Structure 1
């Protein structure tokens, strides 16, 4: 039959520095029917975004080591890759305390996986 593949799943870039939380978020994204792509900090996420053109959604934590946090990453994604949707999460910051870039949403940790799954599907439907 050859190696013809079925249509590819939308790719979601998961940016999280805590290994257990990263693994859980990657599983959530995969269970929701998407292709998970992992980055352990914002710098790694930017490298991935520069090389992969199939990322549809960025799912990022705010608090991470490196040259920038998740809020700065979200602002850069909105400026450089306008079509990409953004989900921002944090266990330390509350939703009312952050100014979100356009077309992004915020969830406090611990987040409800069914809410994140539904949000991923809403965002994917926009494309």
Structure 2
């Protein structure tokens, strides 16, 4: 298991379902990360524009708004290349996804331990 740095980057959780979003935020905060949350890609971009401590994006795929989680991942990777990205979906499977290179994918329901490990791996690769 990867250890989480003393000052891990903040994680932006993007999920349109409020209960799932709250559970994800709790899981990530319990692992030692600070979080921001958004219910759409549009809201996520606004948050990213105003908070430079975000180092990881954790997003669902199927969301309302101008873009889904896959398009959000590609946009964030292009505009904020240092931000690590994890995508989760209960609808899209590993064979159907069109993910940017280097983006981690987890089908829902995802095991908490694997998400925490992926967050730790991304945090360990980022400059402090």
Q: In which range does the TM-score fall when normalised by the shorter chain? A: over 0.9
Partner of 2:121: 122
- 3-state DSSP of counterpart to 1:38: strand
Which ranges of 4 or more aligned residues in structure 1 deviate by more than 6 Å?
none
- CA distance in structure 2 between the partners assigned to 1:20 and 1:28 by the alignment: 12
Q: How many residues align?
A: 121
Q: Which has the larger radius of gyration?
A: 1
Q: TM-score scaled by structure 2? A: 0.91
Q: What is the CA-CA distance between 1:8 and the residue it aligns to?
A: 5.0
Could you tell me which runs of 5 or more consecutive residues in structure 1 were left unpaired when the two chains were aligned: 1-6
The answer on whether the counterparts of 1:78 and 1:102 sit within 8 Å (CA) in structure 2 is no
- Structure 1 residues 1-127: aligned runs within 5 Å: 8-127=7-126
Could you tell me which runs of 5 or more consecutive residues in structure 2 were left unpaired when the two chains were aligned: 1-5
Q: Which has the higher contact order (CA 8 A, sep 6+)?
A: 2
- CA distance in structure 2 between the partners assigned to 1:34 and 1:45 by the alignment: 17
